[in-house]
């Protein structure tokens, strides 16, 4: 990630000099930096997979979502649910809790994750719509039925200092469909797999 950090810093500095007062999209800069870093390192695109990612520990922090994609931790640039076709079935492989939806954490080992859809992308004022059991939502249900693990990444910190932190593996225990503000929403209940070190412990060790 050191190469990525250097490339990102150089790109951001260059764009800041040429911006002429126009707001810079840090998200777009991070994607461009990831592409250049992979090209420099001759980095192969990782295959989507279930479970742990080699070299990634609970509590590891990442500044940008583009870094998650580089190592195969979460490959969707915007969507909170990443999924893949595993043995002929669409399964969820990771989720990012970025606080766009009303996700809840009942405890450090349980969370309720709101399904995908029904809202416009960040910054777009669109009417709410019913969520549908397709794409990421269908993958989450399939993961529940199959009992396969889902990686959980949490966004923490204030806006200028926000980071993405790897929390560990969870399983989808059940799914609830209910109306919220008049629209159908899916809520997926996830339980943390036992035997993993607590996130707060690993965060303290990594600091």
User: What range defines the domain where residue 18 resides?
Assistant: 2-41
For 3-36, write each residue's pLDDT tens digit: 777 766 776 667 666 666 555 566 577 777 777 7
Q: Count up the domains in the chain and report the number.
A: 2
Nearest-angstrom CA–CA distance, 39 and 164: 24
Nearest-angstrom CA–CA distance, 46 and 73: 9
Residues 195 and 131 in one domain: yes
Residues 109 and 17 in one domain: no
For 115-124, write each residue's pLDDT tens digit: 988 665 444 4
pTM: 0.80
First vs last C-alpha separation in the chain: 17
pLDDT at residue number 123: 43
Nearest-angstrom CA–CA distance, 38 and 82: 21
Residues 67 and 35 in one domain: no
Does a structural domain hold residue 71?
Answer: yes
The values of phi and psi at residue 66, to 5°, are -60, -30
Nearest-angstrom CA–CA distance, 136 and 124: 21
Residues 106 and 187 in one domain: yes
Residues 79 and 31 in one domain: no
Residues 9 and 94 in one domain: no
- In degrees, rounded to 5, the angle at the alpha carbon of residue 66 between the alpha carbons of residues 61 and 72 is 80
């Amino acid at each position: 990630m050191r190469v990525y950090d250097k490339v990102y810093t150089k790109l951001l500095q260059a764009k800041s000099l040429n911006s002429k007062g126009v707001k810079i999209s840090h998200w777009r800069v991070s994607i461009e930096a990831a592409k250049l870093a992979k090209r420099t390192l001759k980095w192969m695109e990782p295959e989507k997979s279930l479970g742990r990612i080699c070299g990634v520990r609970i509590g590891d922090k990442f500044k940008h979502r583009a870094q998650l994609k580089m190592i195969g931790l979460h490959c969707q640039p915007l969507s909170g649910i990443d999924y893949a076709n595993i043995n002929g079935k669409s399964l969820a492989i990771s989720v990012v809790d970025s606080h766009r939806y009303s996700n809840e954490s009942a405890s450090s080992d349980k969370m309720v994750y709101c399904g995908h859809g029904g809202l416009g992308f960040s910054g777009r004022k669109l009417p709410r719509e019913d969520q549908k059991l397709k794409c990421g939502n269908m993958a989450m249900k399939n993961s529940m039925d199959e009992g396969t693990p889902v990686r959980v990444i949490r966004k923490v910190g204030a806006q200028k200092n926000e980071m993405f932190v790897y929390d560990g593996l969870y399983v989808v225990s059940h799914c609830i469909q209910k109306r919220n503000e008049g629209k159908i929403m899916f809520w997926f209940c996830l339980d943390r797999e036992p035997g993993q070190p607590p996130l707060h412990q690993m965060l303290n060790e990594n600091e």
